[in-house]
Structure 1
Amino acid sequence: MIHSVGGFLPPPMPAHPVPQPEPGPEQPHWNIPSISEDTAREAFALYASSKCCYSSAPAKDGVITNMEAFNTYRVRGLFDCYRLETFAETRSTEWSHEPYHGQPVDAFSQPPPGPWDIPAKTPSFFQDDKQVIKVPYTSSVKSCHVCLGMGRKACKECAGAGNKVCWVCNGSGYRHGNDRCGHCNGRGRDNCNHCHGQGSKQCDTCHGKQQLLVYINLTVKWKNNSDSYVVEQLSGLQVDNLSKVSGKELFRDSQFMVYPILGFPDPAVVSAAQRLVNEHQNKYSQTSRILQQRQTIELIPVTKVTYLWKGKSNIYFVYGNEFKVNADNYPATCCCTVM
């Protein structure tokens, strides 16, 4: 039964033992992609041609002397759900009402179900959604608390009088000496336009029905809670650039509760996975019902290219599946004036 109304309701203890997460299959051979010198040169040439003030000479004539890979891992995890994602469901209740016009009344006919016993249609995993459900056996009829069951409320514009001081004669009934005010016919007051002279308006809460159907609404929310971890790499490329590109998914594991990854060659990734999995399970299991978790590892290829042009050494970066280029210190730029 619903013992209290308002706020989030923690999920009940499971009636059956919760299945424990199992380690996913180890992957001893991680396929780490690399780019060729030709690909690095083509990406650099395309980058230079996209800049109106950049000469194409360094990209065409520069001699590549070194290419160093700094592959960067983006670890993500989900609750539905490494990105770590956790797909979880929360429930809350609150009193609600609507104008009464003969709807069924079922309060006290039998005990209402508990908030976690009410069926709701779960969306696809890892998709945010919301559903509002009227709780059965909580509907009753009461007089409208706003108009006190009258169906109408005093007009605020005229304070219930039905008329207001004439704005033309300012209430005197006359204009220019003894000339009777034609706007109010000498009454000094005008009918209120807001209530059409009645002094009251239909109650906005009960729509003039005088009574309300009062019931409990259950709000069910599904949210995909996601955290990411990016392994620091010492290439010199700003991490912010990586948010603009995609990588290659190396690993994916989806279970009711995931087990931290095993066997990955970078210990920083293994440590981050362990931390995020523990944090998600401790954080979300207290206030939500976890429906699914998913962990993925994505590799973003980053190549630092060193090249010679006019006897000086310069660098640029090629990164992401899109072969984006970053060359902050391009050696041949000019100033352009747009006429």
Structure 2
Amino acid sequence: MSYPPPQAGYPPNQQGGYPPPQQGGGYPPPQGGGYPPPQQGGGYSPPQQGGGYPPPQQGGGYPPPQQGSGYPPTQQQGNFAPNQPGAVQHQPWQPNSGESAQPGYTGDDVPDSDPEDNEDAADDAGPDPDISKIGGVQGYEQVGLNDWVPPPPQYVPPEDYTKPPEQYSEGAGLSEQEARDAMIQFVAEHCCYGKKPAQEHVIKAIKPSTAFHYTMETFLESRSTKWVHTPYRGQVIDGPQNGYPPGPWDIVCTCSDLFQDQVERIEVPHTAKVQQCHSCYGRGFKRCPRCHGRGRVRCSSCHGRGHKRRYDHQTKQHHNETCHWCHGSGRRRCVRCGGDGRVTCNVCDGCRDLKWYIQLTVKFEDMVSDHVTERTDMPDELIKDAGGMVIFQQTLIRVWPITHFTDPDVNANSQSLVQYHTSTYERAGRILQQRHTLRNVPVFEIDYKWEEVNTRYWVYGNEHRVHAPDYPHQCCWGCVIL
């Protein structure tokens, strides 16, 4: 069902519409329609014939507009759902027991007069959905509006799963000229550093050492389910009548790349159902939040007075001038609803029905932990981003810790991180792969002398980065920092 294209201009004003401005400008109060004053008890009574909202007709959908209504005639009369396999036919809306015939249009929040124009008025979200009305699905009885995490399947190691041998590579050295060039480059990257110490310093000793950066990764798959909804537009419904839904871990879902974060959302088969929209009670529209259903708002230019106070510089007197925004009426047509007082439901998008189904969310996450072994006074955090050489790497379903490396600190931390990942992430999801990597990052501590200063700096990583906290000229001559 769709609306015909808009016609040029406004249609002639019939009974219940807006009459043209009278002499002096402005819109007089609407006659023969609109919204009557609130009844005793603070409610908002349904409008009378000649404007407002007519009661729902047999067959559902929007009833044919009466004379003076704001909506053009629809092209199709009757049910909204098209004749497709699995499509659900609409039924006329009827209030439940104890439910108001005009839900959402009663209460103390309905103003007695046109409200102040509020451009930021948010759409009413309506009441929360009642999951009990949807009905349970076999195997998904615990699923609600929030994520429910099913327990992952138990890991069974494959047969003949043995530990492979550990093999390591070696690193490289650093010459005196490479150390000097690294210091000159380091000073060039700092505008306030003086160049003379970098060019004239005398290297007394180069002490090579090796830092090890160990990284443990677990590629984890976790799954969660919850009820979600989307506007029902007549699409085919795969409901429980087509069979039993598969379990959360029985649905096939694969990732495109290992050790890369990825999220997939899948509709669980045979769980879809069609329910009346809980937000608009199956009407397809709701009260306009900007004008509270009245169709007009108080003019923001004159604040509802219909005129403005002006000062005439020639006569040196104040006088009242008719507001040109509202033509003296003090009210303006609501731009949110076009003066109709209602807007399309933001939950069902005007379709009146919602398709509910259980959504399976599959997350592939790379869980990373690392440790740095470095025995100089240089900060260990610098090693993590420095370039090095991979001397050991294994990728298996379950990795074994390193036990035969020459540095005992690497062996101890590898065992600790592997045990932590296995015990922690087996409960959080299904472990698809594990990978641990050991990098060799070269570190050189250089003792040097410049004039009367004896100090040191470090050159580390394959890029020959420099860490020189005691550089003599950290602020060059003539440099003024404002």
Same fold (TM over 0.5): yes
Match of 2:355 among 183, 196, 213: 213
Match of 1:85 among 209, 212, 217: 217
- Structure 2: which amino acid aligns with 1:226? V
For residue 111 of structure 2, what is the aligned residue in structure 1?
none
Deviation, structure 1 residue 255 = 0.3
Structure-to-structure mapping, 1:138-177, within 5 angstroms? 138-167=271-300
For residue 228 of structure 2, what is the aligned residue in structure 1?
96
For residue 35 of structure 1, what is the aligned residue in structure 2?
174
Which moves more between the two structures, 177-186 or 165-174? 177-186
- Cα gap change, 1:315 to 1:254, in 2 (>3 Å): same
Structure-to-structure mapping, 1:115-264, within 5 angstroms? 115-167=248-300, 189-233=331-375, 235-264=376-405
Deviation, structure 1 residue 226 = 0.2
Deviations 1:65-92, CA, capped at 9 Å, x for gaps: 222122111100xxxxxxx000010111
| Matched residues, number | 329
Are the equivalent residues in 2 in contact too, given 1:88–1:292 (CA < 8 A)?
yes
Distance 1:317 1:190 in 2: 74
Structure-to-structure mapping, 1:37-52, within 5 angstroms? 37-52=176-191
Distance 1:324 1:168 in 2: 65
Deviations 1:211-265, CA, capped at 9 Å, x for gaps: 11111111111000000101141x2212233244211111001100000012101
For residue 436 of structure 2, what is the aligned residue in structure 1?
295
Which moves more between the two structures, 204-213 or 55-64? 55-64
Deviation, structure 1 residue 11 = 0.9
Deviation, structure 1 residue 310 = 3.4
Which moves more between the two structures, 287-296 or 36-45? 36-45
Deviation, structure 1 residue 103 = 1.0
Distance 1:123 1:242 in 2: 31
Which moves more between the two structures, 113-122 or 55-64? 55-64
Greater relative contact order (CA < 8 Å, ≥ 6 in sequence):
1
Deviation, structure 1 residue 60 = 4.2
- Structure 2: which amino acid aligns with 1:205? V
For residue 165 of structure 2, what is the aligned residue in structure 1?
25
Are the equivalent residues in 2 in contact too, given 1:23–1:260 (CA < 8 A)?
no
Distance 1:9 1:158 in 2: 46
Distance 2:286 2:448 in 1: 81
- The question of 1:310 aligning with 2:480 is answered no
Distance 1:40 1:33 in 2: 14
Distance 2:299 2:193 in 1: 73
Distance 2:185 2:300 in 1: 72
Distance 2:290 2:362 in 1: 40
2:399 aligned counterpart, secondary structure: coil
Distance 1:287 1:105 in 2: 33
For residue 336 of structure 1, what is the aligned residue in structure 2?
478
- Structure 1: which amino acid aligns with 2:354? L
Are the equivalent residues in 2 in contact too, given 1:48–1:59 (CA < 8 A)?
yes
For residue 2 of structure 1, what is the aligned residue in structure 2?
140
Deviation, structure 1 residue 30 = 4.8
Are the equivalent residues in 2 in contact too, given 1:20–1:257 (CA < 8 A)?
no
Distance 2:328 2:479 in 1: 73
1:9 aligned counterpart, secondary structure: coil
Are the equivalent residues in 2 in contact too, given 1:21–1:255 (CA < 8 A)?
no
Match of 2:245 among 112, 115, 127: 112
1:293 aligned counterpart, secondary structure: strand
Deviation, structure 1 residue 317 = 1.0
- Cα gap change, 1:290 to 1:244, in 2 (>3 Å): closer
Deviation, structure 1 residue 124 = 1.0
2:240 aligned counterpart, secondary structure: coil
More strand by share: 1
2:225 aligned counterpart, secondary structure: strand
Are the equivalent residues in 1 in contact too, given 2:287–2:343 (CA < 8 A)?
yes
Distance 1:43 1:274 in 2: 36
- Structure 2: which amino acid aligns with 1:329? D
Distance 2:457 2:166 in 1: 35
- The question of 1:70 aligning with 2:203 is answered no
Distance 1:186 1:69 in 2: 88
What TM-score do you get using the length of structure 2 for normalisation? 0.62
For residue 276 of structure 1, what is the aligned residue in structure 2?
417
- Cα gap change, 1:108 to 1:66, in 2 (>3 Å): same
Distance 1:200 1:325 in 2: 68
Deviation, structure 1 residue 13 = 2.7
Q: CA RMSD in A?
A: 2.9
- Cα gap change, 1:157 to 1:58, in 2 (>3 Å): closer
- Cα gap change, 1:261 to 1:180, in 2 (>3 Å): closer
Distance 2:195 2:231 in 1: 73
- Cα gap change, 1:198 to 1:298, in 2 (>3 Å): same
Distance 1:179 1:49 in 2: 70
1:280 aligned counterpart, secondary structure: helix
Structure 1 residues without counterparts, runs of 5 or longer: 77-83
2:378 aligned counterpart, secondary structure: coil
For residue 267 of structure 1, what is the aligned residue in structure 2?
408
Deviation, structure 1 residue 122 = 1.6
- Cα gap change, 1:56 to 1:137, in 2 (>3 Å): same
